[in-house]
Structure 1
Amino acid sequence: MTKFILKYLSIILSIYLLSIIINTIHIDGILPLLIMGLILLIVNLLLKPFFLLITLPFSILTLGLFTFIVNAWTIMIADHFVSGINMSGFLNSLLAAFIIAILHHMLQNMNKPSKPH
């Protein structure tokens, strides 16, 4: 359960930070941002495994970097279903995929207990 909560937090935090930094990403309020996080979690749960399976040869050729393209596709799909957020294209979605991955990794590392030396 904490994995989904950390992923949700990284999604909403990333999209919010990107909307502050990049003026082409528009958010109409907190509610569309929270809905975008839920929709993206559902899209990642249902469609992402299918996309990853289809694009497996490209992922192998690019040593896994093509998964960021798949993540950008899922963000674009979720953006289509939420009316209060406009990601304004593929490049913004790709940048969001990178930032979400980085923040999710940082949140996971903060959640782990530190090992004594």
Structure 2
Amino acid sequence: MTYFQRLIINMLTFISLSVLLPQMVHVQSIMMALLASFVLSILNALIKPILTIISFPLTLLTLGFFSFVINALMLQFTSSFVGAHNFGFSSFGAALLVAIIMSIVNMIVTEHHMEKYRTS
């Protein structure tokens, strides 16, 4: 899957979650969702590997569940960079829920994409 496709999937996930969970997730516009998706991808490339290495013992101790906390932190950082009035969460718990949902959505889309190429 290309980088642009992942950006679009994350953008659509942000928009969908802001409609489904309006008390938890705020997205000002489609362009802000696209910007948030782009900023998240940059943060995931630059900061997430460092946090993953630092928190490896805790991630191992929690059998991988701490990775959702790291993803929620990345979403909170994204909200800080984009601006909370444009893209934000009502609490860290909301960011954690969005991180879990985004992980599931990305897993399903990636599996579907891989299955499409395995059968052809």
| TM-score normalised according to structure 2 size | 0.86
> 1:68: Cα distance to partner?
0.3
The answer to whether the 8 Å contact 1:72/1:94 transfers is yes
Aligned length: 115
**Structure 2 counterpart of 1:86:** 88
Q: Give CA deviations for 1:31-62 in whole Å, capped at 9, x if unaligned.
A: 11100000000000000000011111110101
**Structure 2 counterpart of 1:7:** 6
Report the aligned-residue RMSD.
Answer: 1.6
The SS at the match of 1:44 is: helix
The CA distance in 1 between the partners of 2:28 and 2:21, in whole Å, is 15
Structure 2: runs of 5 or more not aligned: none
The answer to whether the 8 Å contact 1:59/1:65 transfers is yes
The CA distance in 1 between the partners of 2:11 and 2:48, in whole Å, is 18
Q: Give CA deviations for 1:6-54 in whole Å, capped at 9, x if unaligned.
A: 4323321221121111122221111111000000000000000000111
> 1:64: Cα distance to partner?
0.7
Q: In structure 1, give the amino acid aligned to 2:63.
A: L
**Structure 2 counterpart of 1:20:** 19
The answer to whether the 8 Å contact 1:6/1:108 transfers is no
Question: Which one of the candidate residues 99, 102, 107 is aligned to 2:101?
Answer: 99
| TM-score normalised according to structure 1 size | 0.89
Q: Which has the higher contact order (CA 8 A, sep 6+)?
A: 1
> 1:114: Cα distance to partner?
4.2
